């Protein structure tokens, strides 16, 4: 564990901590401790110093630093390694590169802001600094086929919907295939990308973008359907608490998935999904039309009863509830 992380964790757990205590714990000089404290202050931590009492943490910054995310996270897989960027093009792109470099399963990349955040089909994902949750997770599932990659999007969607619902008391819904909505407002999106060969996944990256505390002025006019948890509930959530709760939820469901429990996760997904039974318009490749969503199959396909009473299965595409 980096020394900076040890210092912050120690200061969070205690009131005043002497320089000699920290020096002994880190096996460095008191001057070395002072240098680390100075660096932490530069990062936005408010730390009081006293000649006799030592150091006291007064306030943490509203930044999702690794040492804060990892503090008492208590997950088995997710978040064992955390990489943080104040600014990046895309957390998915960054983590796909790290995955190719051999970074371990459970690594997450968090960004405060993205210049090229993306959704499906290369669409841009708009985000607001210090009001959004932007991160990606690296997984290395054993012997999972490429065709089963949709299971990870379902896992992430259930985790997000349940986390927001538990923290706000408002029920958030999943719109097939990868969005979280409240009524007609899009709150979160998921982009799953992978690298594989011979029909098996080498590693998979789940990108998650959540509009947490934005107000109306944070959204451009061309996104009338965009919303935030704050706008639809009136509740301003703590970003650090939120992401830690979400990571624990993802960790839990990933463990269940690895033990062959996908059907349990899928049952929860269908319970949260607001698409079944709705009349929709759809566009998938060169196929488009309208119909009623009859069901969602366990392979993630949308079963649509068309206007001419024929049924079509959609594995990807766009839908709009009519």
Count of domains for the chain: 3
Residue 147 and residue 30 share a domain: no
Q: How many CB atoms lie within 10 A of CB 172?
A: 23
Q: Tokens 């964790």: give the residue.
A: 9
Same domain assignment for residues 80 and 54: no
Q: Which of 56, 48, 54, 44 is nearest to 24 (CA)?
A: 54
Please give the pLDDT value at position 165: 96
pLDDT of residue 217: 86
**Residue (of 145, 57, 127, 44) closest to 91 by Cα position:** 127
Tell me: do 17 and 81 sit in the same domain. Answer: no
| CATH number of the domain to which 216 belongs | 3.30.930.10
Choose one of 248, 272, 296: the last residue of a domain: 272
Residue 239 CA: distances (Å) to CA of 48, 118, 155: 24, 21, 21
174 with 292, same domain: the answer is: no
Mapped to the 3 state alphabet, what secondary structure does 126-186 carry?
Answer: CCCCCCEEEEEEEECCCCCEHHHCHHHHHHHHHHHHHHHHHHHCCCCEEECCCEEEECCEE
Are residues 291 and 213 both part of a single domain? Answer: no
Residues 177 and 289 in one domain: no
Same-domain status, 112 and 42: no
- Domain-ending residue, one of 272, 296, 311: 272
Q: Could you tell me if 47 and 181 lie in one domain? A: no
Per the document, the length of the chain is 322
We report the CATH number of the domain holding residue 293 as 2.30.30.100
CATH code of the domain containing 43 = 1.10.10.10
- pLDDT at position 126: 65
- If asked whether residues 50 and 71 sit together in one domain, one would say no
Domain co-membership, 174 together with 297: no
Backbone φ and ψ of 288, nearest 5°? -145, 165
Residue 309 CA, chain-centre distance (Å), reads: 39
Cβ atoms 98, 138 nearer than 8 A: yes
- Shared domain for 212 and 290, answered yes or no, is no
The one-digit pLDDT tens for each residue of the chain (322 residues) are 889 899 999 999 999 999 999 999 999 999 999 999 999 999 999 999 998 899 999 999 999 999 999 999 999 999 999 999 999 999 999 999 999 999 999 999 999 999 876 655 556 666 677 899 999 999 999 888 888 999 999 999 999 999 999 999 999 999 988 899 999 899 999 999 999 887 889 999 999 999 999 998 888 776 777 899 999 999 999 999 999 999 999 999 999 999 999 999 999 999 999 889 999 999 888 888 999 999 999 888 999 999 888 999 998 888 888 8
Residue 311 near residue 294 (C-beta atoms within 8 A): yes
DSSP readout, 217-238? Answer: GGS-TT-TTB--HHHHH-----
157 neighbors 176 (Cβ within 8 angstroms): no
Measure the CA–CA gap between 273 and 275, rounded to whole angstroms.
Answer: 6
The predicted structure's pLDDT at residue 29: 94
Using CA atoms, how far apart are residues 217 and 281, in angstroms rounded to an integer?
30
Question: Do 144 and 264 share a domain, yes or no?
Answer: yes
At 72 the three-state DSSP class reads: coil
pLDDT at 159: 98
- To which H or E segment does residue 95 belong? helix 91-100
Residue written as token pair 């054993």 = 142
- The per-residue pLDDT for 295 is 92
Q: Return d(Cα 208, Cα 119) in angstroms, integer.
A: 9
Query: Do residues 79 and 247 make contact, with C-beta atoms less than 8 angstroms apart?
Result: yes
**Which pLDDT belongs to residue 118?**
60
Residue 186 structural domain:
66-272
* Nearest one of 264, 246, 269 to 174, comparing CA atoms: 269
Per-residue pLDDT at 226? 82
Per-residue CA distances from 25 to 28, 32, 55, 73 (Å)? 8, 12, 14, 22
Point out the domain boundary residue: 59, 76, 100: 59
Report pLDDT for 58: 97
């Amino acid at each position: 564990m980096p020394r900076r992380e040890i210092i912050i964790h120690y200061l969070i757990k205690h009131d005043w901590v002497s320089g000699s205590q920290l020096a002994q714990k880190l096996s460095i000089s008191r001057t070395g401790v002072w240098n680390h404290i100075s660096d932490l202050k530069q990062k936005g931590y408010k730390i009081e110093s006293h000649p006799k009492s030592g150091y006291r943490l007064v306030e943490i910054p509203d930044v999702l630093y690794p040492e804060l995310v990892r503090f008492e996270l208590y997950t088995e897989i997710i978040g064992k390694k955390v990489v943080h960027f104040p600014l990046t093009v895309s957390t998915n792109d960054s983590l796909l590169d790290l995955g190719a470099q051999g970074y371990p399963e459970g690594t997450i990349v968090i960004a405060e802001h993205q210049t090229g955040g993306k959704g499906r089909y290369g669409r841009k994902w708009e985000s607001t600094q210090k009001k959004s949750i932007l991160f990606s997770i690296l997984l290395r599932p054993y012997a999972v086929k490429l065709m089963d990659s949709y299971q990870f999007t379902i896992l992430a969607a259930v985790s997000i919907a349940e986390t927001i619902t538990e923290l706000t008391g408002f029920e958030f819904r999943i719109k097939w295939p990868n969005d979280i909505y409240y009524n007609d407002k899009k709150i979160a999106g998921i982009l799953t990308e992978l690298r594989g060969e011979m029909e098996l996944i080498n590693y998979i990256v789940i990108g998650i973008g959540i509009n947490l505390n934005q107000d109306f002025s944070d959204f451009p006019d061309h996104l009338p359907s965009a919303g935030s948890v704050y706008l639809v509930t009136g509740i301003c959530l703590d970003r650090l608490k939120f992401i830690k709760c979400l990571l624990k939820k993802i960790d839990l469901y990933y463990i269940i998935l690895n033990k062959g429990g996908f059907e349990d996760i899928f049952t929860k997904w269908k319970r949260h999904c607001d698409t079944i039974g709705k009349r929709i318009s759809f566009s998938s490749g060169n196929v488009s039309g309208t119909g009623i969503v009859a069901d969602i199959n366990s392979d993630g396909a949308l079963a649509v009863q068309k206007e001419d009473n024929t049924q079509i299965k959609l594995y990807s595409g766009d839908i709009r509830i009519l």
